[in-house]
Chains A and B, each alone.
Chain A
Amino acid sequence: MASCTICLPALMMLVLDLNTVESVWPLPQKLAISEERYPLSPTHFNFYYGEDQASIMTDCSLLDSAFTRYFPLIFPDLTSGNGVLPSTEEKAFSLVVTMNQKDCDGYPNEGSSERYQLNVSAGQAVLNSDTVWGALRGLETFSQLVQQDEDGTYFINKTEIEDFPSFQYRGILLDTSRHFLPLKAILNTLDAMAYSKFNVFHWHIVDDPSFPYQSRTFPDLSSKGAYHPMSHIYTQSDVRRVLTHARLRGIRVIPEFDSPGHTQSWGKGQPNLLTPCYKGSSPSGKFGPINPASALSYTFMSQFLKEVTSVFPDPYLHLGGDEVNFSCWQSNPDVRAFMQKMGFGRDYTKLESFYMENIVNITSNLNKTSIVWQDVFDYHERIPKDTILHIWKGLPAQYKAEMSRMTKAGHRVLLGAPWYINHIAYGQDWRISYNVQPLNFPGTEEQKKLVIGGEVSMWGEYVDATNLSPRLWPRACAAAERLWSDESQTRSAEAAFPRLQAFRCSLLRRGVRAEPLSPGHCRDEYRGI
């Protein structure tokens, strides 16, 4: 492998008006683009590892496959059938990648540094990062910097970038219970996530309507609880494919097994798990949340979560805990007796807390960090400090107050409330997402540091593979920039608008069915239906 020199002559950079230049989304923390441009030719372009790493890095398969992936993204006409356009200036150009840490075989996690530096000069771009995850982000940025002039010649401007995310957790929630999403739809979403520098796929994999996760330990859960036991399930190898696809893009996969509510589909394959509801003195035939009064429930959850934590490598696990309806518990004499015994009186929030405490303990015994929906904190402030709280309710005033309370109690917080983009409306609603200020709540600096990031949710009531992509993209990109970029540089949605339009066209070019933001056109329109 060839060598590279890291030192750049200090040059005066002319910073162009970002609104007039096709540019990077999300906006890097420090970006200086000069007017000087260099032609690129696909036949004279190479990726290299930095000199001192050549011997060590030859087996970084993660980065090797990223090079393979990014080459056609950098030179799209190679794959769009337009043919290779001959470059008039056949000058070699190389992208040289250097990383401080050599770990290429692991999974990204909460501590993964995504920081990178990218310097583009004549004949060469130098990408430095701490980790392979930072290199992936830098590659994405590099690919967005390459443009084509009117003759189809590729070029890149002289550029200096120093970049890192404002928030370490930047997630997207997909709901595969209300509608089953074929694997292809999930993988396609992961691709688009990487283009927007999202790094967490929150997989709300099961819920009331269906249980598509095929468990090794409890196969009846999906064979009885999925919409269809053969065609509407995720097998273990499907899950592994998602994990691998995500890892290669620096994306964590955090599964959510929401309980004790939202579990109707669990009951079909696991008898005696859910609470039998009563009508007067006899069972009504209906079932409520998981039965918290039965020891069997905890035995089951222990075994089940043991499997889950062995299948999903991420150190986090989402335990749900939201929207528990107490009426069924209230109707059940065994549950009432248990309440009595435990001294909970008539306060069913205490019962729910009891259940969640047990589940959180099971999870921490499995060496995983729990994430729970805010309901758990609202009812019960005595949860372990390292539990991450996920805010999903309320208007800005309400979720800000909630953030104050939670961070004051020392909890790490994840902001979901303002980004429920399954809620659609006419017009450019991405601007609402863009204008969210995640740290604008009353609290000390220490409290603000506890906000680990945010998440875009695409709940599945009205969404399946027919409309998922255009509903998610480019609307989710607004939150992507809010969570990655420096807020003080990205306050204006108006200023971001042309850059987002350009980015949505590049999503189209890359095969993501991203919907339009306003009248206009892209050079390469979506060609499917």
Chain B
Amino acid sequence: MLAGLNFATLLLSVAVCQGSRYKDIDSETVSVDQGSTYGSLWPLPQQVSLSEVSFKLSSSSFRVVDAEGSSAGPSCNILQNAYRRYYEYVFGNPRKNGHFKRKAATSELSELQVSITSGDSDCDGYPGATSDESYELTVDQPYAILKAPKVWGALRGLETFSQLVYEDEYGAKSINSSKIVDFPRFQHRGILLDTSRHFLPIKVILANLEAMSMNKFNVFHWHIVDDPSFPYLSRTFPQLSQMGAYQPYTHVYTPGDVKMIIEFARLRGIRVVPEFDTPGHTQSWGKGQKDLLTPCYSGPTPSGTFGPVNPILNTTYDFMNLLFKEISEVFPDAYVHLGGDEVDFNCWKSNPNIQKWMDEHGLGKDYAKLESFYIQKLLGIVAATKKGSMIWQEVFDNGVKLPADAVVNVWMGSGLQEEMFNVTAAGFTTILSAPWYLDYISYGQDWQRYYKVEPLDFKGSDSQNKLVIGGEACLWGEFVDSTNLTPRLWPRASAVGERLWSAKDVTDVNDAYSRLSKHRCRMVERGIPAEPLFTSFCRHEYKGN
């Protein structure tokens, strides 16, 4: 999933500094905010009708409540927490109004009633691959009504409601009469964070889950371990993080941390899909798990370095069995990401035992087949834990026999359309990441490039198109940690968020610029240091440093 870049020696291909001849980019060439009829809505709902009639919201009397007949009640944590969260987002820190009593104006909106319409609200469950996120929102007097079959749709609708509220020139909260019918275009809308190349403190992960919910993302793809470090504290194999983390106490995720992240995500309708990438990208695993990695040879003797997971030992599979059993219990999501990318065959080639084994098993010199052998067994191990598998595209490309419910994650930019065609033609569901590697930064408004991607831009049939279940924005961690992650991700990932949620024909970049500028100021106001799109200001600037 990484483009095979060697970070240490990588020097940019684009001579940006030297190439620039102008002190400033000419502002006239960049989009200018001409206002949008859709205000600050982001991502744009499927159907919006806004009227000019406006109502006031009073911080002392406005309430978000369960509607009569809603299948969710006061015991529904997800909703009760969300009501409070969005009340605070709408009204900010409650300020004392003194003792001035004021009669409710006729043009006041006093309640948002939330109704879960399906018999099972999913209140106590986890969001899943097929969770219904649709909702309908009607803002009118005397009540605004939010209807959703499941709590997941209600969460999306609450965010939309909060985005409809604005301040008039006296600072009073107002909302226009409106009617919104909404549902996501793609089911899987993910963000990948990499906690191996740099450790990300819990606080940063939580803040970004919060930002995800503001952008209607619903999958946190947690690339939790990789070559550089193993911060996941395993109960079964504690030595993995003890030896493989950057620091065994300060740079690990304890079971309690993981639980907290999963629950925080659940309350925001976000799935947590962990990735335990093998057989490559596992250098850090080897530190705490002896004999797991392949010893590389230099001529007839071991060189002291190690390669990918050793696929010819039974102990390898015993280990994976236990580890993935634990993972299946710790992470409630129905899917686990198994990685399977960028396996370097040199070490396997150097090892005489592997050569011998391959001869015995008739694999000859075909190391892709050896990799497939490994992945095949791993897929079996994971299937036995009743989990589905997500894998990077190489696994499909190498011809591994995949279970029908496997999800193929396409990350390579070259041959993208062909790959999308082939994967869907073979009947597999697909997630698109290739155009959205947000760790690759460049000067200027690159969000527009992410925005202009059309995920179904390959010549597939309707049934093939349906297999593209969504996409992910990836922020790999070579150059990212808690110091710069949040402003690097937002609002650039917001562009991906709208592409995956909104209707296919929502492609007006100028309209998007206007809404996104306001949306980014809203994120800033909510405490997310989302960076600016261009020369501009926010009424409330970021107060951190």
Of listed A396, A427, A431, residue having the most chain B CB within 10 A: A427
A187 nearest in chain B by CB position:
B545
Query: Is A519 a contact of B537 with CB atoms below 8 Å?
Result: no
**What 1/0 flags go to B281-301 for Cβ under 8 Å of A?**
000000000000000000000
Q: Is A315 on the interface with B (CB-CB < 8 A)? A: no
Across the interface, which residues of A come within 8 angstroms of B268, CB to CB?
Answer: none
Known contacts A429-B12, A521-B251, A526-B483, A463 near B23 by CB under 8 Å? no
Question: For window 455-513 of chain A, which residues contact chain B by CB distance below 8 Å?
Answer: 459-467, 469-471, 508, 511, 513
Query: Is B531 a contact of A425 with CB atoms below 8 Å?
Result: no
Across the interface, which residues of A come within 8 angstroms of B208, CB to CB?
Answer: 529
Smallest CB separation, A398 vs chain B (Å): 9
Q: Is B230 on the interface with A (CB-CB < 8 A)? A: no
Q: In the complex, A486→B16 CA distance in Å?
A: 27
**What 1/0 flags go to A176-200 for Cβ under 8 Å of B?**
0011101011001000000000000
Q: In the complex, A188→B545 CA distance in Å?
A: 7
Query: Is A421 a contact of B17 with CB atoms below 8 Å?
Result: yes
Q: Is A383 on the interface with B (CB-CB < 8 A)? A: no
Q: In the complex, A321→B80 CA distance in Å?
A: 59
Smallest CB separation, A128 vs chain B (Å): 35
Q: Is B458 on the interface with A (CB-CB < 8 A)? A: no
Q: In the complex, A232→B538 CA distance in Å?
A: 10
- Interface residues of B, dominant DSSP: loop
**What 1/0 flags go to B189-218 for Cβ under 8 Å of A?**
000000001110101100110000000000
Query: Is B545 a contact of A184 with CB atoms below 8 Å?
Result: yes
Q: In the complex, A188→B18 CA distance in Å?
A: 28
Query: Is B198 a contact of A464 with CB atoms below 8 Å?
Result: no
Q: Given A232, A323, A395, A515, which contacts B484 in the complex, CB threshold below 8 Å?
A: A515
Q: In the complex, A464→B21 CA distance in Å?
A: 23
Known contacts A322-B23, A519-B478, A514 near B483 by CB under 8 Å? yes
B10 nearest in chain A by CB position:
A427
Query: Is A427 a contact of B12 with CB atoms below 8 Å?
Result: yes
Question: For window 411-451 of chain A, which residues contact chain B by CB distance below 8 Å?
Answer: 418-429, 431-433
Q: Given A178, A428, A525, which contacts B482 in the complex, CB threshold below 8 Å?
A: A525
Q: Is B103 on the interface with A (CB-CB < 8 A)? A: no
Question: For window 512-545 of chain B, which residues contact chain A by CB distance below 8 Å?
Answer: 524, 527-537, 539, 541-545
Q: Given B5, B199, B530, B537, which contacts A466 in the complex, CB threshold below 8 Å?
A: B530
Q: In the complex, A432→B482 CA distance in Å?
A: 25
Query: Is A525 a contact of B12 with CB atoms below 8 Å?
Result: no
Q: Is B73 on the interface with A (CB-CB < 8 A)? A: no
Query: Is A529 a contact of B529 with CB atoms below 8 Å?
Result: yes
B437 nearest in chain A by CB position:
A426
Q: In the complex, A526→B18 CA distance in Å?
A: 31
B477 nearest in chain A by CB position:
A519
A264 nearest in chain B by CB position:
B27
Known contacts A425-B441, A462-B444, A525-B199, A419 near B17 by CB under 8 Å? yes
Q: Is A516 on the interface with B (CB-CB < 8 A)? A: yes
Question: For window 218-232 of chain A, which residues contact chain B by CB distance below 8 Å?
Answer: 227-228, 231-232
Q: Given A208, A209, A462, A465, which contacts B545 in the complex, CB threshold below 8 Å?
A: A465
Query: Is A467 a contact of B487 with CB atoms below 8 Å?
Result: yes
B200 nearest in chain A by CB position:
A525
Smallest CB separation, B1 vs chain A (Å): 15
Q: Is B170 on the interface with A (CB-CB < 8 A)? A: no
B206 nearest in chain A by CB position:
A529
Query: Is B536 a contact of A179 with CB atoms below 8 Å?
Result: yes
Smallest CB separation, B525 vs chain A (Å): 12
Q: In the complex, A520→B535 CA distance in Å?
A: 33
Query: Is A519 a contact of B10 with CB atoms below 8 Å?
Result: no
Smallest CB separation, B482 vs chain A (Å): 5
Query: Is B537 a contact of A228 with CB atoms below 8 Å?
Result: yes
Q: Is A394 on the interface with B (CB-CB < 8 A)? A: yes
Known contacts A424-B441, A429-B12, A517-B479, A396 near B18 by CB under 8 Å? yes
Chain A residues touching B, range: 35 or more
Across the interface, which residues of A come within 8 angstroms of B5, CB to CB?
Answer: 427
**What 1/0 flags go to B207-249 for Cβ under 8 Å of A?**
1100000000000000000001100000000000000001100
Known contacts A323-B24, A529-B528, A513 near B541 by CB under 8 Å? no
B227 nearest in chain A by CB position:
A519
Across the interface, which residues of A come within 8 angstroms of B480, CB to CB?
Answer: 515-516
Q: In the complex, A467→B542 CA distance in Å?
A: 10
Smallest CB separation, B56 vs chain A (Å): 24
Question: For window 1-37 of chain B, which residues contact chain A by CB distance below 8 Å?
Answer: 5, 7-8, 10-12, 14-25, 27
A179 nearest in chain B by CB position:
B532
A322 nearest in chain B by CB position:
B23
Q: In the complex, A41→B444 CA distance in Å?
A: 49
Q: Is B314 on the interface with A (CB-CB < 8 A)? A: no
Across the interface, which residues of A come within 8 angstroms of B10, CB to CB?
Answer: 426-428
Q: Is A387 on the interface with B (CB-CB < 8 A)? A: no
Across the interface, which residues of A come within 8 angstroms of B23, CB to CB?
Answer: 322-323, 373, 392-393, 420, 459
Question: For window 372-424 of chain A, which residues contact chain B by CB distance below 8 Å?
Answer: 373, 392-396, 418-424
Q: Is B486 on the interface with A (CB-CB < 8 A)? A: yes
Q: Is B100 on the interface with A (CB-CB < 8 A)? A: no
Q: Given A210, A396, A469, A525, which contacts B481 in the complex, CB threshold below 8 Å?
A: A525
Question: For window 443-478 of chain B, which residues contact chain A by CB distance below 8 Å?
Answer: 443-444, 477-478
Query: Is A461 a contact of B25 with CB atoms below 8 Å?
Result: yes
Q: Is A237 on the interface with B (CB-CB < 8 A)? A: no
Query: Is A424 a contact of B16 with CB atoms below 8 Å?
Result: yes
Q: Given B17, B20, B24, B487, which contacts A429 in the complex, CB threshold below 8 Å?
A: B17
Q: Given A178, A227, A418, A520, which contacts B17 in the complex, CB threshold below 8 Å?
A: A418
Smallest CB separation, A21 vs chain B (Å): 20
Q: In the complex, A353→B479 CA distance in Å?
A: 45
Across the interface, which residues of A come within 8 angstroms of B483, CB to CB?
Answer: 469-470, 508, 513-516, 526
Q: In the complex, A244→B316 CA distance in Å?
A: 64
Query: Is A515 a contact of B479 with CB atoms below 8 Å?
Result: yes
Smallest CB separation, A349 vs chain B (Å): 18
Q: Is A55 on the interface with B (CB-CB < 8 A)? A: no
Smallest CB separation, B276 vs chain A (Å): 18
Query: Is A423 a contact of B198 with CB atoms below 8 Å?
Result: no
Smallest CB separation, B74 vs chain A (Å): 32
Query: Is A518 a contact of B8 with CB atoms below 8 Å?
Result: yes
Query: Is A464 a contact of B17 with CB atoms below 8 Å?
Result: no
Query: Is A394 a contact of B21 with CB atoms below 8 Å?
Result: yes
A469 nearest in chain B by CB position:
B545
Q: In the complex, A284→B313 CA distance in Å?
A: 80
B23 nearest in chain A by CB position:
A392
Q: Is B414 on the interface with A (CB-CB < 8 A)? A: no
Q: Is A69 on the interface with B (CB-CB < 8 A)? A: no
Q: Is A528 on the interface with B (CB-CB < 8 A)? A: yes
Q: Given B22, B203, B543, which contacts A184 in the complex, CB threshold below 8 Å?
A: B543
Q: Is B442 on the interface with A (CB-CB < 8 A)? A: yes
Query: Is B534 a contact of A461 with CB atoms below 8 Å?
Result: yes
Known contacts A185-B545, A525-B481, A179 near B537 by CB under 8 Å? yes
Query: Is A425 a contact of B24 with CB atoms below 8 Å?
Result: no
Q: Given B17, B479, B545, which contacts A513 in the complex, CB threshold below 8 Å?
A: B545
Across the interface, which residues of A come within 8 angstroms of B14, CB to CB?
Answer: 425
Q: In the complex, A517→B484 CA distance in Å?
A: 11
**What 1/0 flags go to A353-383 for Cβ under 8 Å of B?**
0000000000000000000010000000000
Known contacts A188-B545, A392-B23, A461-B24, A466 near B479 by CB under 8 Å? no
Q: Is A527 on the interface with B (CB-CB < 8 A)? A: yes
Given A232-B541, A424-B443, A461-B24, list of 14 further CB < 8 A pairs?
A182-B541, A182-B542, A184-B545, A185-B545, A421-B17, A426-B10, A462-B531, A467-B532, A515-B481, A517-B479, A523-B247, A527-B201, A529-B204, A529-B486
Sample 30 A-B pairs with CB under 8 A, ordered by A number.
A180-B537, A182-B543, A184-B543, A184-B545, A228-B537, A322-B23, A323-B23, A392-B23, A396-B18, A419-B17, A424-B441, A429-B16, A432-B11, A462-B444, A466-B531, A466-B542, A467-B484, A469-B483, A515-B480, A516-B479, A516-B481, A517-B479, A518-B478, A521-B251, A525-B201, A525-B250, A526-B481, A527-B201, A529-B204, A529-B544
- Sorted from nearest, which 3 A-B pairs have the closest CB atoms? A470-B484, A466-B529, A467-B487
